Amino acid sequence: MIKLAPSILAADFNRLGEQIHSVEDAGAEYLHIDVMDGNFVPSISFGMPVISSIRKSTKLVFDVHLMVEEPIRYLEDFKEAGADILTVHAEACKHLNRTIAGIKELGCRAGVALNPATPLNVLDYVLEDLDMVLLMSVNPGFGGQTFLPNSLCKIKQLKEMADRAGADIDIEVDGGIHTSNVADVIEAGANVIVAGTAVFRGNIKENIAEFKNKFSAFPM
């Protein structure tokens, strides 16, 4: 099943609760939550208090993307705030295996994210321990960027790598995805689609319906 993960980084925070209800009612499966520390990436977004607050108002899967240096320090806090999936950047972890193990011990699904220039071979010794790999198709830190076309090749290579290893993982892609290019991303091998401005700009219900229509061409 192809899943849509609207990124609240693009939401109107004056209407955040209302817009979360809108994406849930429209059929989104996940809520993508970008946590930025101002160190690993230039921007600062939000942390545990916001996640804890919105957790009370929705049953959506909380897909928490930690763009944070040494995220192992905060795993338990994000679990307590309501995270279902915790994704850490390979580039931000001194001990990636230990961090993944820490996520699993908390009962969360474990994901590893890779920046556009990070090679897939950093996953060689952790792939079998993962539930998801997140490939960034823009350089992280800001919303509204343009999709990097060479990401399609990387998605295909990851899918082939996972198939060879017999790894039953989700492949999530984040950055610059719209209804005009999402079919290419899915065809390359992705099954979890992060979209921010393409969901929250304009009519949320109609935008999600358009994504779902594109997904319907790829029965899984």
Cβ atoms of 93 and 66 closer than 8 Å: no
Cβ atoms of 98 and 72 closer than 8 Å: yes
Residue 40 gets which letter from DSSP? Answer: S
Instruction: Please tell me which residue in 12, 34, 63, 163 is annotated as part of the active site.
Output: 34
- Ranges of H-type helices in 35-140: 48-55, 75-81, 96-105
CA distances from 56 to 49, 62, 66 (A): 12, 12, 21
Cβ atoms of 56 and 86 closer than 8 Å: no
Instruction: Please tell me which residue in 84, 168, 174, 184 is annotated as part of the active site.
Output: 174
Give phi and psi for 9, each to the nearest 5. Answer: -60, -25
Strand 30-36 relative to strand 3-6, pairing: unpaired
174 part of the active site: yes
Which residues participate in catalysis according to the annotation? 34, 174
